[in-house]
Amino acid sequence: MNPMTEPAEIDPVRSGAGRADEGRAADLSTAPAEPTITVDQSAEKIFDCSGVNVLYNGKMAVEDVAIPLLKGDITALIGPSGCGKSTFLRCLNRMNDLIPGAEVQGSIVYHGQDLYAKAVDPVEVRKRIGMVFQKPNPFPKSIYDNIAFGPRLRGVKKADMDEVVESALQRAALWDDVKDRLKDNAFGMSGGQQQRLCIARALATSPDVLLMDEPCSALDPISTGKIEDLMTELKDHVSIVIVTHNMQQAARVSDKTAFFIVDLSAGENKRIGKLVEFAPTEQIFSNPADVRTEQYVTGKFG
């Protein structure tokens, strides 16, 4: 942060820099109704989302998300439980299509194409956008077959497969660990290795985006650190969108952070996820524009 800039008109109430002993609940009446987006919109976007709503059986779960996810960034999605960050993440590779009763409205533009256009095949979408889940989920097959699964679906020939597998494992910083035991069952690996295997598996199809849903929450701190380092290495080739509960992780790893909340204004049983603020990570954690973001990152609510 450049400390010597001319001060913009920062509203002290909005920025919420209160006294240490005032843990006042986020004052929604003074908070802005529109999400605050302080990200350079002219940069190249990997996903351009506007008006994204997600409904489950007709009930609104996530409302009106408009967010530009930029190429080459690691974007973190943070927010309290139930704020829709995982739901929104799953929109990006049409995984929500698989949930009966789920409906996605709005537009998500990926490489100039609306992902949800009628002509678009969700299976093809998922071949180009990788996903890593919260609990490592390797297939009960050999390490080799795990990695080869995606490429085989895409028709990669047997002769080329060895190279594809090695390349994916190299990129996931796992090659040295497993190069002598590719035929071993993946279940024999430790949790951290299994998750890196899942990352390698997702990378094997050379996606340009990797979606990660709390990838480290089931792992020990050392494995978590390795995966965070991996993410930073991958950034050059793969844009990453990560949902995380761990704010320190978001602070350590991401370039941009999007903060979601649960909006209860329609009633206690009408919990709707909404985007509040999207800004460079440094800003979110040093001087967020919205008082609700301030309250959340300092742990005063949520």
Tokens linked to 278: 């999207």
Name residues whose C-beta falls within 8 Å of residue 94's C-beta, 6 or more positions apart in sequence. Answer: 104, 115, 116, 122, 125, 126
> C-beta of 63: minimal distance to other proteins in Å?
25
Nearer to other proteins, 53 or 298 (CB): 298
> C-beta of 195: minimal distance to other proteins in Å?
12
Residue span binding other proteins (CB under 8 A) among the ranges 107-115, 165-173, 195-203, 233-241: 195-203
Is 244 exposed, middle or buried, given 0-12, 13-18 or 19+ CB atoms closer than 10 A?
buried
Distance CA 220, CA 222 (A): 6
The reply on whether position 205 binds other proteins by CB under 8 A is yes
Q: Specify the residue for token string 């941009």.
A: 256
Residue span binding other proteins (CB under 8 A) among the ranges 11-19, 35-43, 222-230, 258-266: 11-19
Asked whether the beta carbons of 96 and 90 are under 8 A apart, the reply is yes
Candidate residues 28, 55, 103, 135; the one interacting with other proteins per rule CB under 8 A: 135
How many other CB atoms sit within 10 Å of the CB of residue 266? 11
Nearest to 169 by CA among 154, 151, 155, 153: 151
> C-beta of 194: minimal distance to other proteins in Å?
11
Residue span binding other proteins (CB under 8 A) among the ranges 1-9, 218-226, 231-239, 260-268: 1-9
Distance CA 154, CA 301 (A): 46
Asked whether the beta carbons of 207 and 129 are under 8 A apart, the reply is yes
The reply on whether position 201 binds other proteins by CB under 8 A is yes
Nearest to 87 by CA among 69, 102, 66, 109: 102
Residue span binding other proteins (CB under 8 A) among the ranges 34-42, 47-55, 132-140, 163-171: 132-140
The reply on whether position 175 binds other proteins by CB under 8 A is no
Nearest to 188 by CA among 248, 242, 254, 140: 140
Q: Which of residues 58-117 bind other proteins (CB under 8 A)?
A: 93, 95, 98, 100
How many chain residues are in contact with other proteins, going by CB under 8 A?
59
Nearer to other proteins, 247 or 275 (CB): 247
Per-residue b or e along 192-204, where b marks 16 or more CB atoms closer than 10 Å to that residue's CB: bbbbbbbbbbbbb
Asked whether the beta carbons of 89 and 275 are under 8 A apart, the reply is no
Nearer to other proteins, 76 or 198 (CB): 198
Tokens linked to 292: 């609700």
Nearer to other proteins, 21 or 180 (CB): 21
> C-beta of 1: minimal distance to other proteins in Å?
8
Q: Specify the residue for token string 């080739």.
A: 237
Nearer to other proteins, 56 or 64 (CB): 56
* Secondary structure (DSSP) of 97-155: GGSTTEEEEEEEEETTEETTSTT--HHHHHHHEEEE-SS----SSBHHHHHHHHHHHTT
- Which positions from 243 to 272 touch other proteins by CB under 8 A, shown as an x/- string? ----xx--x---------------------
Q: Which of residues 146-165 bind other proteins (CB under 8 A)?
A: 149-150, 153-154
State the residues that interact with other proteins by CB under 8 A.
1, 3-7, 10, 12, 15-21, 23, 93, 95, 98, 100, 123-128, 130-131, 133, 135, 137-141, 149-150, 153-154, 187, 198, 201-202, 205, 247-248, 251, 284-288, 293-294, 297-301
